[in-house]
Structure 1
Amino acid sequence: MIRSALPAALAAALIAAPAGAQQQRDVTPYIEVGQVLTADLQSGDVLTYSSIAAGVDASIQTRRVEVQLSYKYEHRIAWDKDLADENVHSGLARAAVQVARGVTLEGGALAARARSDIRGDAPGNLAGNVRNVSQVYSAYAGPTVATKAGDVDINAAYRFGYTKVEAPSLPAVIPGQPALDNYDDATNHLATVSAGVRAGAVLPVGLSVSGAWAREDVSQLDQRYDGKYARGDIVVPVTNELAAVAGAGYEKIEISQRDPLVDPATGRPVQDNNGRFVTDPASPRRIAYDTDGLFWDAGVVWRPSRRTMLEARVGRRYGTMSYTGSFSHQISATSGVQVGVYDSVQSFGRGLGRALADLPTSFDTGSDPFGSQFNRCVFGRQGSNAGGCLNPLLGSVTTANFRSRGVVAVYSRNFGRNRFGVGLGYDNRRYLLPPGIIPGVSLDGVTDETWYAQVSAGRQLSRRSSIDVDGYFNYFDSGLAGAPDVWGGGATASYNYSFGHLSAIASLGLYAFDQDIPGTDTDLSAQAMLGMRYSF
């Protein structure tokens, strides 16, 4: 199952790593026990639970092997009979292993908890009977090949991905709003190939051609995505640092699915025990999105040094104007900044796989004993990749495909005993569904918006002690008629003291979220934890 994908990524790297590289590995398994107190600051209710956990932190960084894994399994035992015991998985793995000259195996895996319904609760306190939260597992893997044929650079890659979402134990409750579908699982394939010559190698300009094929099969309502594209690009040097770029191509995308089974007595979709719509076996395949034609873009690339690069493009794609771009600056070997402007047709599964692939193979794990360190932004430890943010995807799980447009910026700095990271962004999703697919609610053409920000910092106070702090803010606008806007924010602080193999941790978290519903108050809560960890 997908739960074994995190350790598997590390195991593959260990097998592939040369003997010399294995001497530089750092693998630390551990067990942990803790006592957690959670309080509702409005009602005054105080709940407690005990935590028993096991995990592993591992890193291998050599010339041929780049791997990092941080994984934790936690079982929470409630002291109150009205609270359910919980099993929580949280972890992230990224790997890039050069198995031969020009051939690299890449992979990534994620275990985290996500907000299920963009209209519902946005809790930061994830202990106890929490509504609108699902456990998510996602992984991808595949080879990348880079070679040359004379002056021609040839690149190819293949990725296979899988995503699984457990149904929320307590669904979102939004007065007057019909239920939406719960995501189950999906598989996807992506194959790419390109060939090109650099400017000055054969001609004064650079030329390239590329193509890609993507396929995704989603279990919900037999949903299917099939996309193919081919394009050509030209690079015209203007100065040693600046070049004009342009490209054009052809693409065909088709998204289809079947209807849910409708109860004739109520007129509502039939749902199984997990709140997922049952597919109508008699339903024909319905087209949710279909585009077939040409696209183009043009812009500039500015590279004043090997550590700095800016690219900006404007064009026409998906039937409207499209704007994309990126900026990266490596401040030092351990610090950097990245900005990305994106526009693509995505889904939850494909988008999560792409976000995983963009994360660094050396990242900061922070210190969040409440299991939320991989729910938002991930900050890199190397200046060449400052990190990335998963907020737009994990902020709301959706079964529908969507056109995703937005901007994300990440700054990461590691200096001496200190670390510091900032991530912020905006995401706009326009849903692509056949009209009338869900009786009582129309998602086709609906646009939702997400704004997010996070600050994370840590300091090694001494050889034995350290402190970590983290703060975040999210704002969600579902775009659905009658649905509330929702905001959520919070902060955590943790102190660690090591006695050798044994270490102690004390943590405190404060959280708030609010739904724009008349007569409801802002939800305020706090968590505190005292725990011990033994590292082997």
Structure 2
Amino acid sequence: MARTSLSILRRLALAFGLAVAATTAPAQGVSYDPPPVQASDPQAASDAGEAAPSRERQRPRRSRAEVRPYLEVAQIVTAELNGGDVFTYTSLAAGVDGRIETRRVHAQASYRYQRNIEWGGNGADQDTHSGLAIVNADIVPGLLQFDAGALAARTGGIGRALGVTPRDSSVEIYSLFAGPTLSTRIGPAALNAAYRIGYVAVDDDTPFGAFRDQYDDAIAHNLSASIGIGPGRLPFGWTLAGGYARSDNGGPFDQRFEGVYVRGDIVLPVGPTLALTAGVGYEDLRADQFDIARDADDLPILTPDGVPIADPSRPRLLTYDIDGLIYDAGLIWRPTPRTELQARAGRRYGGTTILGTFQHRFNRTYGVAAAVFDTVETFGSSIINNISNLPTDFDIVRNPFTGNIGGCAFGADPGAGLCFDQSLQSVRSTSFRARGATILVSGNRGLWSFGAGASYVHRRYARPSDPAFDIFGAVTDESFGLYATLGRELSRTSDLTFDAYASWFDSDLAGFEGIFSIGATATYSRRLLYDRLQLIGALGLYHTSSGANDSIVANGLIGLRYTF
């Protein structure tokens, strides 16, 4: 259901107020990370009980500030190659890219507002906001940090996180998070605690949106704490940890999710590069929502558009209810300072769980990171967790036609970054269990820079078993996404960028046709007038296929940007 610009501005104002006035951190999934215990050498092992240093504390800071606002005008031609229309747009954009870094504060942001004006009257004008921001501040150095972040992104709806063109209807997603992190010592023990609050709002303009799960907005909370001592004083290290997560959706069915866990872990070094780890604990996860309003014959009452109506007067329906013992065991392997593997397997969420991470730096300029994950979360918590894990030094490649953020954000360190498609492929209001894997590789050499990321996710949604709820969407879905970018500096004032993507999405919904998308874009830019004026040219080709629906779209752009 589309909303007015004023409604969107009110949402953003509310979200900004929450982010600034609260104090907060990642999101709402109740996944638990293993204790950060070093096992690569005896000294590192003895220091493992230290509070884990933040990504900023590991890097010396020098004060600098760079804020570059800009205005841009461009002409866009988009053509449907298999018998469709040709549209011409004038694109007007205003944005800012900035970075502020001091001894105690690191902030980076990229924001862009774009309006596409269609010439012929056959296509709709579009207004889009897109951006990414992250802030880290040492409030009390060595003791208290504050983090905040924001995301504004655009997708093409279910299964279309990548490859949105100017002619597509879209789903606009806005998110903010903020919160403090405490890290200190109590004698030989390290004490860590964090709280995060996040807000997510969705504006869905895609056709037939009424027949899908309607996501309005949500507020998510996440609180975690741990205390532990690393190996050294004892042959093993230990950690006691606990966490609480809650998410409240603002939609008509008032979906709520709550989760709490407590657990203990030990880490036993068995060699200079290898340690064994095991943990056991208890968790309680619960989700519920309003029932559908029903008539005298107990049949669902629908709007004229076929949308079910919520009935707050009926007892709430339990959609997820798991509590009991959780346990896992695994290893931590660090054969070199540049390589780390962590793997764990056990029981959680009522079944087997497998987790793992791998990081390797080939040299100073190339790196790779991979992860296997298993978590119970909501759409809102997934988005907020993504933003909170964003490196503070990041690079993004925008789509030149829509201004939207590309599939991944790559960090300044090789192998650092994250991809957004795993969270954006499916916008649903119910909680779900997500299992999958991600891999990201990035680096640079001389005049070249590159980055690539891939992800696979299988989601199982928690919803009432009543067939009346089938209208809200599938019970399970899965997606695969691949995004890559390659840049080349042609001279001091010109550069060329290629980016490409491929994605696949499918679900068990009756009659649903899987969605496959693939596309590529080439962008050339040349800076003039002391780098203030920039000439931009771009070509793009995008293909989307879903059953009998097949679309091939070609885009072309020529534009000018002035940077102040």
- TM-score normalized by the length of structure 1: 0.90
Aligned to 1:225: 257
Aligned to 1:175: none
| Distance of 1:331 and 1:64 partners within structure 2 | 31
Aligned to 1:167: 204
Aligned to 1:109: 150
Q: Return the match for 2:229 from 174, 185, 197.
A: 197
CA displacement, residues 10-47 of structure 1 (integer Å, 9 cap, x when unaligned): 9x9xxxx9xx9795111101111111111000115210
1:511 deviates by 0.3
| Distance of 1:375 and 1:278 partners within structure 2 | 37
Aligned to 1:467: 496
Aligned to 2:140: 100
Aligned to 1:323: 354
Aligned to 1:407: 437
1:84 deviates by 1.7
SS of aligned partner of 2:383: helix
Q: Return the match for 1:55 from 69, 90, 95.
A: 95
Gaps of 5+ in 2: 1-9, 23-55
SS of aligned partner of 1:355: helix
**In structure 1, what residue type is equivalent to 2:82?**
Q
CA displacement, residues 473-525 of structure 1 (integer Å, 9 cap, x when unaligned): 00111121221111011111110110121111011110001112xxx252100
| Distance of 1:481 and 1:170 partners within structure 2 | 19
Aligned to 2:50: none
Aligned to 1:491: 520
Could you say if the C-alpha distance between residues 479 and 115 of structure 1 is closer, same or farther in structure 2, counting changes exceeding 3 Å? farther
- TM-score normalized by the length of structure 2: 0.85
Could you say if the C-alpha distance between residues 22 and 86 of structure 1 is closer, same or farther in structure 2, counting changes exceeding 3 Å? farther
Could you say if the C-alpha distance between residues 9 and 361 of structure 1 is closer, same or farther in structure 2, counting changes exceeding 3 Å? farther
1:66 deviates by 2.6
Task: Check the 8 A contact 1:488/1:512 in 2, yes or no.
Answer: yes
1:180 deviates by 1.8
Q: Whose RCO is larger (CA < 8 A, sep 6+)?
A: 2
The correspondence of residues 130-209 of structure 1 with structure 2, limited to 5 A, is: 130-131=168-169, 133-171=170-208, 179-200=211-232, 202-209=233-240
SS of aligned partner of 2:412: strand
Task: Check the 8 A contact 1:259/1:437 in 2, yes or no.
Answer: no
How many pairs are equivalent? 513
Aligned to 1:378: 409
Q: Does 1:336 align with 2:375?
A: no
SS of aligned partner of 1:463: coil
Q: Return the match for 1:127 from 125, 143, 166.
A: 166
Task: Check the 8 A contact 2:157/2:206 in 1, yes or no.
Answer: no
CA displacement, residues 168-192 of structure 1 (integer Å, 9 cap, x when unaligned): 25336xxxxx922221100011011
Could you say if the C-alpha distance between residues 305 and 362 of structure 1 is closer, same or farther in structure 2, counting changes exceeding 3 Å? same
SS of aligned partner of 2:211: coil
1:269 deviates by 5.4
SS of aligned partner of 1:116: coil
Task: Check the 8 A contact 2:162/2:503 in 1, yes or no.
Answer: no
Task: Check the 8 A contact 1:155/1:195 in 2, yes or no.
Answer: yes
Q: Does 1:285 align with 2:285?
A: no
Aligned to 1:311: 342
1:272 deviates by 9.1
Percent of residue pairs identical: 40
Aligned to 1:45: 85
**In structure 2, what residue type is equivalent to 1:253?**
L
Q: Return the match for 1:85 from 125, 144, 167.
A: 125
1:266 deviates by 12
| Distance of 2:301 and 2:360 partners within structure 1 | 50
Tell me how large the CA RMSD over aligned residues is.
Answer: 2.7
Could you say if the C-alpha distance between residues 386 and 404 of structure 1 is closer, same or farther in structure 2, counting changes exceeding 3 Å? same
CA displacement, residues 157-176 of structure 1 (integer Å, 9 cap, x when unaligned): 0100000000225336xxxx
1:147 deviates by 0.7
| Distance of 2:84 and 2:464 partners within structure 1 | 46
191-200 vs 500-509, which moves further: 500-509
1:331 deviates by 3.8
108-117 vs 133-142, which moves further: 108-117
Q: Return the match for 1:236 from 254, 268, 272.
A: 268
**In structure 1, what residue type is equivalent to 2:182?**
V
| Distance of 2:296 and 2:495 partners within structure 1 | 61
1:308 deviates by 2.0
Could you say if the C-alpha distance between residues 8 and 345 of structure 1 is closer, same or farther in structure 2, counting changes exceeding 3 Å? closer
| Distance of 1:414 and 1:304 partners within structure 2 | 25
Gaps of 5+ in 1: 173-177
Could you say if the C-alpha distance between residues 522 and 473 of structure 1 is closer, same or farther in structure 2, counting changes exceeding 3 Å? same
Aligned to 2:485: 456
Q: Return the match for 2:460 from 430, 444, 452.
A: 430
| Distance of 1:45 and 1:425 partners within structure 2 | 34
Task: Check the 8 A contact 2:480/2:503 in 1, yes or no.
Answer: yes
Aligned to 2:277: 245
Task: Check the 8 A contact 1:9/1:95 in 2, yes or no.
Answer: no
